[in-house]
């Protein structure tokens, strides 16, 4: 719902829309990630290498089905959680594994057999796949997939590499099912998937010999990225996958898609092949399918670059939405620079507001408004709706701002027609980068946050300037320890530039204080400060990491390279303009 009503012969009053909106988390504003610092003398840190657990497919299952079983050394019971693995040196226990995907495979045997393909996560280098348990109650089948992880006591004295792996496990359900019945399969905490057994009567003499199958990866011929045809609505990206079938007996299964990282997908084409003595034609066939990768603005972030892995190869694409200009990820740069990204003005505004202390959620685009012939993006600032009208190259927010009356109650179109507006609360119009920002409301905190990062040009109290005095505290300031720095720029002309930093807080008393910058020639100096109590204070031995970001503006010479120096150390460059 929009925050205004246009007058076209009648007046209507509508309530502000306050639905919950998922936030965009490119920069997190402030996040605390706790790492326990163990200060016990004589303890060594064990760093455990991480790898992807591989599963072998085996046949001749006693239940008549085909499944993959974990390989165990002789004499070891994988369910014995308290056992000491000889190659690790610390105690482990079973823990339910995170589940990435679940798929039901139907094997064309007599009678038909069912296999559940489960792709589970290996959360860190200290974890490994353990086993899968199957329990059946009526038409409900419960599968519990476990990893082996260190015990709490062992976790207190070891360090694990934070690398996420996956494990592919095929669990055979066999063929002992009532025909024409629907069964539900529950895997750990996932929503159930279902399958229905065949309703046709079984033949007493099947036309062919009873055959077992195995499920195996199919060789990938290629992957092509396809963009949805309807450019007027949400843009959907697909992967057109081609894979091979090596003989006439092999049959295709639907390919699996796993999101193996924030900007990475992995596709696993599958095929099933008979295990018995079969006379198969020696011909190579190619099959294909279209896999849905996601929608820009929902599962995919606009302008972000994604990688799709298949076998030993990969293909990349940049997610682009209508009316959004993104930098070419393959365009050469004058000199090598750290990885950076091009972000929308709405995201730059979101980060600036968060850095100013506001609670901000990003709600994507809305079709409720159409000022300036632009569909706005919506931010919810401290729970209140703020609309952002982002202008494409060739049009400027500054020129459009001149069409809004000083009191913000009318807009003049290009043909000279004045459109009068009636608001349910006082309007405030701002410029930010190459965007116009509209807030309709009277919340003082929201107004204060917008006044701090944007320039008001029309509406209620347009001439008012708000200054906030800093609060004095009994703390001592010091330069922050910088762990990571990232650079980003908006797509506006001129571009707004933002710097994100991750700082380390060395104990429970150290707190973030401030982040500020100044431009000296072709150098941007950023100072990040933390504070600690002036008086002696007992502090917990803990390390915290905190993310902060700062908008360093757009007043930079086009085409000129600027160095970013954070707390005295060079951290990267960006190009002005």
> Which range has highest mean pLDDT (113-127, 162-176, 439-453)?
439-453
Please name the residue that has the structure tokens 């849905």.
Answer: 292
pLDDT tens for 143-187 read: 999 999 998 888 777 878 777 788 888 888 887 888 778 899 999
90/181 same-domain check: yes
**End position of a domain, from candidates 322, 352, 370:** 322
Q: Which residues of 151-161 are buried (b: 16+ CB within 10 A; e: fewer)?
A: eeebbeebbbe
Has residue 530 been placed in a domain?
A: yes
Has residue 339 been placed in a domain?
A: no
513/567 same-domain check: yes
User: Which of 245, 234, 238 has the alpha carbon at shortest distance from 265?
Assistant: 238
* 333 has a pLDDT exceeding 60: no
311/393 same-domain check: no
Q: Find all residues with CB under 8 Å of 43, minimum gap 6, and list them.
A: 157
Q: Find all residues with CB under 8 Å of 453, minimum gap 6, and list them.
A: 349, 352, 353, 356, 432, 551
Average pLDDT, the chain: 74
The residue among 156 and 14 whose pLDDT is bigger is 156
pTM of the model: 0.34
Percent of the chain with pLDDT strictly greater than 90: 17
Tally the C-alpha atoms within 13 A of residue 358's C-alpha that lie toward its C-beta.
30
> What's the structural domain count of the chain?
4
354/451 same-domain check: yes
294/273 same-domain check: yes
227/200 same-domain check: no
Torsion of CA 224, 230, 236, 238, to 10 degrees: -20
* 429 has a pLDDT exceeding 90: yes
pLDDT for the residue 180: 78
Longest CA span, the chain: 90
pLDDT for the residue 111: 65
Question: Which of the residue ranges 74-83, 129-138, 141-150, 396-405 would you say has the lowest mean pLDDT?
Answer: 74-83
pLDDT tens for 15-59 read: 444 433 333 333 333 333 333 333 333 333 333 333 334 333 333
Has residue 392 been placed in a domain?
A: yes
Task: Please state the rounded mean pLDDT for residues 120-147.
Answer: 91
Distance (Å, whole) CA 418 – CA 292? 45
3 touches 425 (CB < 8 A)? yes
For residue 249, give Cα distances in angstroms to 37, 116, 273, 285: 58, 22, 6, 11
**End position of a domain, from candidates 204, 229, 246:** 204
Has residue 212 been placed in a domain?
A: no
pLDDT for the residue 381: 93
Has residue 209 been placed in a domain?
A: no
pLDDT for the residue 170: 87
180/90 same-domain check: yes
258/353 same-domain check: no
186/46 same-domain check: yes
pLDDT for the residue 319: 83
Distance (Å, whole) CA 164 – CA 540? 30
pLDDT for the residue 450: 92
- State which residues form the domain around 479: 475-575
Has residue 447 been placed in a domain?
A: yes
pLDDT tens for 359-388 read: 988 876 665 666 888 888 889 999 899 999
* 261 has a pLDDT exceeding 90: no
117 touches 174 (CB < 8 A)? no
Has residue 338 been placed in a domain?
A: no
User: Which of 230, 248, 246 has the alpha carbon at shortest distance from 238?
Assistant: 230
Has residue 386 been placed in a domain?
A: yes
pLDDT for the residue 394: 59
* Confidence band, pLDDT 50/70/90 cuts, at residue 326: low
53/138 same-domain check: yes
* Confidence band, pLDDT 50/70/90 cuts, at residue 88: low
Collapse the DSSP code of 491 into the 3-class scheme (helix H, G, I; strand E, B; otherwise coil) and give the result. Answer: coil
User: What is the DSSP code (8-state) at residue 404?
Assistant: B
Distance (Å, whole) CA 548 – CA 480? 11
* Confidence band, pLDDT 50/70/90 cuts, at residue 205: very low
488/510 same-domain check: yes
State how beta strands 67-68 and 57-58 pair.
Answer: antiparallel
61/197 same-domain check: yes
Distance (Å, whole) CA 532 – CA 542? 14
């Amino acid at each position: 719902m929009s925050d205004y009503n246009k007058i076209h012969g009648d007046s209507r009053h509508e309530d502000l829309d306050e639905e919950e909106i998922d936030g965009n988390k490119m920069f997190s504003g402030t996040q605390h990630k706790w790492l326990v610092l163990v200060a016990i003398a004589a303890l060594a840190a064990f760093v455990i290498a991480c790898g992807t657990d591989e599963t072998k497919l085996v046949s001749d299952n006693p239940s008549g089905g085909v499944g993959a079983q974990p390989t165990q050394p002789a004499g070891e019971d994988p369910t014995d959680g308290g056992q000491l693995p000889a190659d690790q040196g610390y105690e482990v226990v079973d823990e339910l594994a995170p589940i990435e995907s679940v798929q039901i495979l139907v094997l064309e045997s007599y009678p038909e057999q069912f296999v559940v393909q489960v792709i589970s996560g290996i959360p860190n280098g200290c974890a490994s796949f353990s086993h899968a348990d199957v329990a059946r109650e009526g038409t409900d089948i419960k599968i519990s997939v476990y990893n082996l992880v260190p015990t709490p006591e062992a976790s207190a004295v070891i360090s694990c590499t934070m690398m996420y792996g996956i494990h592919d496990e095929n669990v055979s359900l066999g063929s002992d099912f009532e025909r024409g019945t629907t069964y539900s399969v529950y895997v750990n905490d996932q929503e159930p998937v279902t399958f229905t057994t065949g309703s046709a009567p079984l033949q007493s003499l099947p036309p062919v010999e009873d055959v077992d199958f195995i499920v195996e990866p199919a060789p990938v011929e290629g992957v092509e990225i396809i963009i949805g045809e309807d450019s007027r609505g949400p843009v959907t990206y697909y992967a057109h996958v081609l894979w091979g079938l090596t003989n006439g007996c092999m049959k295709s299964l639907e390919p699996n898609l796993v999101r193996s990282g924030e900007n990475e997908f992995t596709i696993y084409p599958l095929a099933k092949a008979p295990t018995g003595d079969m006379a198969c034609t020696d011909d190579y066939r190619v099959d294909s399918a279209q896999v849905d990768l996601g929608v820009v603005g929902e599962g995919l972030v606009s302008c972000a670059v994604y990688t799709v892995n298949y076998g030993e190869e990969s293909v990349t694409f940049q997610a682009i939405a209508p009316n959004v200009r993104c930098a070419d990820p393959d365009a050469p740069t004058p000199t090598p620079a750290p990885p950076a990204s091009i972000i929308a003005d709405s995201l730059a505004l979101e980060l600036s507001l968060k850095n100013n202390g506001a609670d901000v959620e990003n709600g994507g685009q809305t079709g409720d408004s159409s000022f300036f012939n632009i569909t706005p993006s919506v931010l919810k600032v401290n729970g209140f709706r703020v609309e952002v009208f982002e202008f494409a190259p060739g049009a400027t927010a500054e020129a459009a701002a001149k069409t809004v009356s000083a009191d913000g109650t009318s807009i003049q179109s290009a043909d000279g027609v004045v459109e009068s507006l009636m608001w349910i609360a006082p309007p405030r119009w701002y410029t930010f980068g190459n965007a116009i920002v509209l807030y309709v409301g009277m919340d003082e905190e929201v107004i204060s946050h917008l006044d701090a990062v944007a320039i008001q040009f029309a509406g209620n109290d347009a001439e008012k300037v708000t200054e906030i005095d800093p609060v004095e505290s009994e703390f001592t300031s010091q330069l922050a320890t910088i762990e990571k720095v990232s650079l980003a720029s908006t797509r506006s002309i001129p571009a707004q530039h933002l710097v994100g930093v991750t700082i380390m807080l060395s104990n429970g008393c150290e707190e973030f204080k401030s982040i500020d910058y100044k431009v000296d020639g072709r150098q941007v100096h950023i100072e990040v400060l933390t504070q600690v109590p002036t008086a002696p204070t007992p502090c917990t031995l803990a390390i915290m990491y905190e993310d902060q970001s700062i908008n360093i503006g757009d007043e930079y010479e086009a085409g000129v390279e600027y160095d970013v120096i954070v707390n005295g150390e060079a951290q990267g460059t960006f190009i002005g303009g």
